[in-house]
């Protein structure tokens, strides 16, 4: 089979690695069909503003409630007027910064979690003002965390740009696009009652098309990673749907789902579970597939005479190491975000298997294992596509050519 050259804009030194033109054309055709289907899906599923506004009934504060900014001037132990039991309680003296009571000094009780958040004099926080008779009633609302979040976000951008430079900039642009698709298309489509799995597949595919090409450049190598990502995503969706069906999951894991059900009575929470599986798996799949595709390209550049079988085997050796580390990432990320729930396991007399059977745990297990299985299978899929797509091995020199002697 013939071979040509694929010019990569994202990996230096791989411009000379040729591609198999038959495999290249099949790959491009496959992605072109998926691209057309994705655009058609966006048009079909795009929520109208009228449908969205008819579904969204915002919850407004009571007319006698306002939120004001206040600065803490003093904090003392204990609360004078509340029976707080064993919960820790502090009394904060604050100066109101906004509203009709600006400049006024009031006392506010900090109870339980509020007392353990580390508030200190000089901190700015938000307080609730409730009109109740002659004097308003004041209570804690939240600490002002926006400055810290802003600093962390700015530091993140600076570090990414300093270390990854143009690659980092393109990655941030891709991240912005992904956020826009999630907020501008996927969430509104779910609110308006569009099919959840279709929304997640179309939105996830659109995100991957843009994110991969923006971050890694338009090349056959990137296209290989994209194909592996989308096939891995399809496997994840299939496994998740089957698991949700056979495990009899409803999608109601905690109070957030019950609150949302009151606002959106027609929401299919089983499909919402599937959306979470799909969106949660996108980033990890992207990481694994681009690594595998790049590894095969690097191997072909270093060993142009290596057979496709050996190329695949060498790529899989790299992939197995990546699988091990990524599985740890998935599991520990869940454990790190669920420490309070895991601690509750020590305070029940029910067996661990009974707790794992509860939907709160079973749903997360399905979500985690479904993503992990799709991730693992995406490694041989991407490696195989890449091994077929790069150029055929160069023939070994024969006879006197092997010694650099011309044959008459």
Which has the closest alpha carbon to 274: 238, 240, 232? 240
**Is residue 313 situated within a structural domain?**
yes
Task: Looking at the structure, tell me whether residues 102 and 216 fall in a common domain.
Answer: no
Cβ–Cβ < 8 Å for 262, 238? no
Q: 41-55, 199-213, 388-402: which has the highest mean pLDDT?
A: 199-213
Domain of 41, in residue numbers: 3-47+148-389
**Is residue 56 situated within a structural domain?**
no
CATH number at residue 124: 2.40.50
Mean pLDDT to the nearest integer, 207-224:
92
Sheet holding 124-130, edge to edge: 105-111, 89-96, 65-77, 124-130, 137-143
Mean pLDDT to the nearest integer, 210-229:
92
The secondary structure of residue 62, as a DSSP letter, is: P
Cβ–Cβ < 8 Å for 1, 22? yes
pLDDT (0 to 100) of residue 259: 82
Between 5 and 61, where is the model more confident?
Answer: 61
Task: Looking at the structure, tell me whether residues 273 and 347 fall in a common domain.
Answer: yes
Domain's final residue, options 97, 125, 143 = 143
CA distance 372 to 251: 19
Confidence (pTM)? 0.79
pLDDT tens string 48-76: 877 777 777 666 666 778 889 999 999 98
pLDDT tens string 88-125: 888 899 999 998 889 999 989 888 888 888 899 999 99
Task: Looking at the structure, tell me whether residues 137 and 278 fall in a common domain.
Answer: no
Mean pLDDT to the nearest integer, 205-216:
92
pLDDT tens string 355-391: 778 888 888 888 888 888 888 999 999 999 999 998 8
Task: Looking at the structure, tell me whether residues 94 and 217 fall in a common domain.
Answer: no
Task: Looking at the structure, tell me whether residues 130 and 213 fall in a common domain.
Answer: no
Per-residue confidence at 220, pLDDT binned at 50, 70, 90? very high
pLDDT above 80 (res 86): no
Task: Looking at the structure, tell me whether residues 245 and 327 fall in a common domain.
Answer: yes
Secondary structure, 3-state, 146-200: HHHHHHHHHHHHHHHHHHHHHHHHHHHHHHHHHHHHHHHHHHHHHHCCCCHHHHH
**Is residue 399 situated within a structural domain?**
no
pLDDT above 80 (res 160): yes
**Is residue 169 situated within a structural domain?**
yes
Total structural domains in the chain? 2
pLDDT (0 to 100) of residue 133: 72
| Mean pLDDT, the chain, whole residue set | 84
Task: Looking at the structure, tell me whether residues 110 and 235 fall in a common domain.
Answer: no
pLDDT (0 to 100) of residue 18: 78
Task: Looking at the structure, tell me whether residues 125 and 220 fall in a common domain.
Answer: no
Task: Looking at the structure, tell me whether residues 83 and 231 fall in a common domain.
Answer: no
Task: Looking at the structure, tell me whether residues 332 and 360 fall in a common domain.
Answer: yes
Task: Looking at the structure, tell me whether residues 96 and 160 fall in a common domain.
Answer: no
pLDDT tens string 232-265: 988 888 888 888 888 888 888 778 888 888 888 8
């Amino acid at each position: 089979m013939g071979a040509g050259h694929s010019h990569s804009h994202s990996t230096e030194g791989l411009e000379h690695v040729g591609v198999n033109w038959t495999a290249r054309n099949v790959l491009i055709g496959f992605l072109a069909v998926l691209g057309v289907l994705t655009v058609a899906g966006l048009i079909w599923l795009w929520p109208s503003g009228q449908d969205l506004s008819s579904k969204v009934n915002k919850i407004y504060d009571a007319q006698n409630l306002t939120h004001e900014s206040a600065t803490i001037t003093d904090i003392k132990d204990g609360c004078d007027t509340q029976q707080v039991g064993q919960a820790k309680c502090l009394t904060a003296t604050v100066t109101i910064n906004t509203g009709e009571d600006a400049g006024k000094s009031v006392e506010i009780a900090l109870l339980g979690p509020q007392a353990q958040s580390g508030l200190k004099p000089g901190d700015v926080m938000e307080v609730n003002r409730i009109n109740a008779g002659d004097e308003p009633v004041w209570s804690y609302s939240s600490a002002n965390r926006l400055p810290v979040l802003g600093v962390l976000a700015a530091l993140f951008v600076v570090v990414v740009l300093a270390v990854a430079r143009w690659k980092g900039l393109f990655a941030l642009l891709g991240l912005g696009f992904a956020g826009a698709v999630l907020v501008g298309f996927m969430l509104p489509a779910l609110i308006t009652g569009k099919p959840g799995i279709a929304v997640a597949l179309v939105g996830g595919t659109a995100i991957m098309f843009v994110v991969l090409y923006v971050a890694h450049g338009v090349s056959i190598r990137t296209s290989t990673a994209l194909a592996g990502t989308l096939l891995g995503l399809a496997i994840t969706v299939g496994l998740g749907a089957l698991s949700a069906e056979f495990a009899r999951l409803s999608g109601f894991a905690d109070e957030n789902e019950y609150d949302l059900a009151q606002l959106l009575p027609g929401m299919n929470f089983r499909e919402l579970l599937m959306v979470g599986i799909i969106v949660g798996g996108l980033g990890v799949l992207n990481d694994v597939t681009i690594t595998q595709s790049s590894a095969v390209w690097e191997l072909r550049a270093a060993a142009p005479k290596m057979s496709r079988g050996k190329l695949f085997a060498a790529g899989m050796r790299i992939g197995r190491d990546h699988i091990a580390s990524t599985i740890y990432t998935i599991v520990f990320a869940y454990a790190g975000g669920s420490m309070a729930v895991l601690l509750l396991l020590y305070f029940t007399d029910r067996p661990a298997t009974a707790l794992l059977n509860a939907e709160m745990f079973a749903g997360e297990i399905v979500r985690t294992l479904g993503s992990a299985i799709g991730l693992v299978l995406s490694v041989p899929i991407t490696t195989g596509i890449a091994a077929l797509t790069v150029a055929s091995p160069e023939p070994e020199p024969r006879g006197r050519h092997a010694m650099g002697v011309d044959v008459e």
